[in-house]
Amino acid sequence: MNRRAFITLVSGAVAPPFVVARAQPSQVRHVAYLIAVGVEGDTEYEKRVSAFLEGLRGLGWIEGKNLNLSIHRVKPNAIDVRKGVADLLAGKPDVIVSGGGTTTPPVLQATNTIPVVFTTVVDPVGSGFVESLAHPGGNATGFMQFDYSLSGKWLELLKQVAPSTVRVGVVRDATVPSGIGQFAVIQSVAGSFAVDVIPIGTRDINEIEGGIGKLARIPNGGLIATLGAAVSGYRDLIVGLAARYKLPVVYANRAFVDHGGLISYGSDTIASAPRAAVYVDRILRGERPADLPVQAPNKYEVVVNLKAAKAIGLELPPTVISRADEVIE
């Protein structure tokens, strides 16, 4: 199967997932992990935490021996995130690990001295988290999922999957810069694909159900679910509504496809966790976030769910299937 991705992204130097033959640290250090989870026990987010822990163990950091790891799971809203940041800082961590646009801004607003490693940020330079990808310059560095230009690829893919689509609902979190930025890019390229885009918010179930239901009443509709903690919090709802209304949907995160969604295009959000462990290790051993370049994903992947396509009566073009990185039968 042809595993060619849609675009090629040139990234900075990539740190190896594990470092061998290093002295095992003896001093107990405190690492705090802040993660915004929309659904309690969400398997995707727990896999991120597990992958991060495994990465630290491979580097010699063992809980109860030389590592004190505190995990702060919060709901993806401003009040809960701010409370989570306050609780986190009260523990005086040596390093803070954050997620993306939901948790990283409040952390950086609260401290400019404690090192911060983010794992799933979109456009960290444009968001003001770092001065540049090569030279972050402040107390934060980490891993980006993509830059905003990738958002336009979701609309391109949707038109390839369902060429008759003329109206596209975009599920995004309008309370964070990354949600606003992703929608802005999709809106900017909509004219070139001859579609109208309609924003769908994530404040509550009613807003999502109402937005998708309204879209479904219009012929030739389609849907894009962007990357964000608030969007992921309604993953099963969005996938279920898309199936009910037989809407073609492109997702930014493959977890939606694993849960019955049609097709996704993006980077692996779990793969950045062990890479983040490498940066945490380097910082605990004396390096500065300012000197550690922000890293882009190693690859982007297309994941297709043929069962979901059949359920909504959609025959996917052979060209789309042939260049998918994974096909779920």
- Whose structure tokens read 């948790």? 103
Tens digit of each residue's pLDDT (9 = 90 or more) over 117-167: 999 999 899 889 999 999 999 999 999 988 888 999 999 999 999 999 999
Same domain for 324 and 213: yes
Using DSSP bridges, classify how beta strands 263-266 and 29-36 pair: parallel, antiparallel or unpaired. unpaired
Per the structure, the count of domains in the chain is: 2
Which residue pairs from 317-322 have beta carbons closer than 8 angstroms and sit at least 24 positions apart in sequence?
317/160, 317/161, 319/160, 320/157, 320/160, 320/161, 320/263, 322/1, 322/2
Same domain for 162 and 46: no
Same domain for 235 and 135: no
In a domain, 21, yes or no: no
Give, rounded to a whole angstrom, the gap between the first and last alpha carbons of the chain: 14
The CA distance from 49 to 163, in Å, is 39
Tens digit of each residue's pLDDT (9 = 90 or more) over 188-247: 999 999 999 999 999 999 999 999 999 999 999 999 999 998 999 999 999 999 999 999
In a domain, 3, yes or no: no
- Give how far Cα 134 sits from Cα of 11, 14, 177, 292, 295, Å: 10, 12, 22, 8, 8
Range of the domain at 242: 148-266+301-328
Same domain for 105 and 62: yes
In a domain, 63, yes or no: yes
Instruction: Please tell me the pTM assigned to this model.
Output: 0.84
pLDDT band per the 50, 70, 90 thresholds, residue 276: very high
Same domain for 135 and 184: no
Q: Determine the pLDDT at residue 188.
A: 97
The CA distance from 201 to 6, in Å, is 28
Structure token digits, residue 303: 């994941």
Same domain for 170 and 49: no
In a domain, 7, yes or no: no
- Domain containing 46 — which CATH number? 3.40.50.2300
The CA distance from 109 to 263, in Å, is 36
Q: What percent of the chain has pLDDT over 70?
A: 92
In a domain, 20, yes or no: no
Same domain for 94 and 43: yes
Same domain for 168 and 241: yes
Per-residue pLDDT, averaged over 312-318, amounts to: 94
Tens digit of each residue's pLDDT (9 = 90 or more) over 233-272: 999 999 999 999 999 999 999 999 999 999 999 998 889 9
In a domain, 296, yes or no: no
Q: Which amino acid is at 69?
A: L
Same domain for 178 and 110: no
In a domain, 80, yes or no: yes
In a domain, 99, yes or no: yes
Same domain for 172 and 79: no
CB 265 within 8 A of CB 153: yes
Same domain for 141 and 152: no
Per-residue pLDDT, averaged over 71-98, amounts to: 96
Same domain for 159 and 184: yes
